[in-house]
Chains A and B, each alone.
Chain A
Amino acid sequence: MNMPFESNRNNWMLSVTLLSVVLGMLLAAALKTQQTVKLASGIPTTRVSGLTQLILDEKDRNKRLQGEITDLRGKVDKYEKVMGQGGSQSQVLKDELQKAKLFAGLVPAVGDGVEVVLRDSAKQIPVDADPEIKQEYIIHDVDLGAFVNVLRANGAEAISISDQDSDQRVVAITPILCDAATIKVNGVRMTSPFTITAVGPPNVMKTALEMQNGLISQFRFIDGLTKSMVKVRTGSDLVVPAYTGVTSLKYARAAESGGSPR
């Protein structure tokens, strides 16, 4: 057809084709890198919406596994009961075992006690405040630890820490440690508000927390902050769930001599 344009046309086709080759190379490299990123992290997507779904899935799985643990522990209980029917001696053993398990936190505990609700302050944190002051508005791991300690010192026999997602029994090896914006209890991330449930002498524990120069009176020194962040109430038949974490020990063994103190 119109010849003058034909050479020009071939010309642009050639350039475009050449750079298309480069573009293809870039595309392949980008694709490969994305793949290695996904492989390396073990996460099949990097988009936020995909990640959200993944987290939800994992949470579901966690719930299921948690239920499985409860199921299996229940089965163990049943076997123990059946064993207990064998005779008076095994009955005694079974009772001892049950006591030990209650003490260790492996079975749910029910009883009178107190409930402490700790939440981050709803008040606006002043923008120009010192970082130290800003910290006062948030519940920290040390706060949870202090409350658990005071409750224990005043007769608490079973304690759990809960948020809206999970309940964690506080047992002998339970760590309570801050992790970025969350607090990990038994390795499970929790966020405010926290509920500490303690089975024990209700009035003794409540009084101990609320007495003058006690934990709550010294909790926060900014006006009105403590009131909005800490709530204590007594209750009857409070349920403290069983510990659902790992119970097998890798390093500790029972000592031979019966462990009598020197």
Chain B
Amino acid sequence: MMFWVPLFGMLVGFAIIYMANVTVPPGFASYLSLATLAGLDAVLGGVRAGLEEKFKADIFVSGFIANTLLAVLLAYIGEQIGVELFLAAVVLIGGRVFLNLSLIRRYWLTKLALRKKES
């Protein structure tokens, strides 16, 4: 299954950093988590676009970088002016992750059903 390739890539990346002796100052912990969530959203969005056959590499890559940085920047500004923009980003991106996941599942199931019909 082609599906497993991105997942495998994620595991590889995870292993690289986890084994390596990389440390991030604890003050950045919440930002890093937010960036991870934004990254997850972008990757799932890419998968969804791919399944919908509307995938465009430039949109995907720029979306990944811009969304991650913007989420972190927004959270930082929120912290500075005393508004919990962090939560806004988490709610919004988290919602999109769920939406993308459900859409991916739907396309996948449709494809499976089609394949069954063909065979």
Chain B, residues 1-25, CB within 8 Å of chain A (1/0): the string is: 0100111111111111110001110
**Contact across chains for B61 and A27 when beta carbons are under 8 A apart:** no
Q: Which of A12, A18, A29 meets B32, CB within 8 Å? A: A29
**Contact across chains for A32 and B35 when beta carbons are under 8 A apart:** no
Which residues from chain B contact A28 at a C-beta distance below 8 Å? 13-18
Which residues from chain A contact B39 at a C-beta distance below 8 Å? 19, 22-23, 26-27
**Dominant SS among interface residues on chain A:** helix
Chain B nearest CB from A35 CB (Å) reads 10
Mark out the residues of chain B between 6 and 59 whose CB falls within 8 Å of any chain A CB in the assembled complex.
6-18, 22-24, 26, 28-29, 32-33, 35-36, 39-40, 42-43, 46-47, 49-50, 53, 55, 57
Q: Which residue of A lies closest to B55 (CB)?
A: A12
* A24-B11, A25-B17, A26-B68 known, 9 other contacts, Cβ within 8 Å: A9-B50, A23-B40, A23-B43, A24-B13, A24-B15, A25-B16, A29-B17, A30-B32, A33-B33
Chain A nearest CB from B83 CB (Å) reads 19
* Chain A interface, number of residues (Cβ within 8 angstroms): 29
Measured CA separation A24–B53 after assembly (Å): 25
Is residue A217 within 8 Å, beta carbon to beta carbon, of the partner chain?
no
Is residue A5 within 8 Å, beta carbon to beta carbon, of the partner chain?
yes
Is residue B76 within 8 Å, beta carbon to beta carbon, of the partner chain?
no
Q: Which of B5, B14, B53, B64 meets A17, CB within 8 Å? A: B5
Q: Which of A12, A26, A30, A40 meets B50, CB within 8 Å? A: A12
* Chain A residues close to B by CB (< 8 Å): 5, 8-9, 11-13, 15-34, 36-37, 40
7 pairs from A and B in contact (CB 8 Å cutoff):
A5-B53, A20-B13, A21-B12, A23-B36, A27-B14, A30-B35, A33-B23
**Contact across chains for A20 and B7 when beta carbons are under 8 A apart:** yes
**Contact across chains for B18 and A31 when beta carbons are under 8 A apart:** yes
Which residues from chain B contact A30 at a C-beta distance below 8 Å? 29, 32-33, 35-36
Measured CA separation A18–B24 after assembly (Å): 23
Q: Which of A13, A17, A27, A32 meets B24, CB within 8 Å? A: A32
Residue among A16, A32, A40 with the highest chain B CB neighbour number at 10 A: A16
Q: Which of A20, A25, A27, A40 meets B6, CB within 8 Å? A: A20
Measured CA separation A48–B11 after assembly (Å): 30
A17-B9, A23-B43, A24-B9 are known contacts. Are A33 and B36 too (CB-CB below 8 A)? Answer: no
**Contact across chains for B18 and A32 when beta carbons are under 8 A apart:** yes
Q: Which residue of A lies closest to B40 (CB)?
A: A23
Chain A nearest CB from B107 CB (Å) reads 13
**Contact across chains for B10 and A23 when beta carbons are under 8 A apart:** yes
Measured CA separation A126–B59 after assembly (Å): 55
Q: Which residue of A lies closest to B22 (CB)?
A: A29
Chain A nearest CB from B57 CB (Å) reads 5
Q: Which residue of A lies closest to B12 (CB)?
A: A21
Chain A nearest CB from B48 CB (Å) reads 10
A20-B43, A23-B39, A30-B36 are known contacts. Are A8 and B16 too (CB-CB below 8 A)? Answer: no
Chain B nearest CB from A33 CB (Å) reads 4
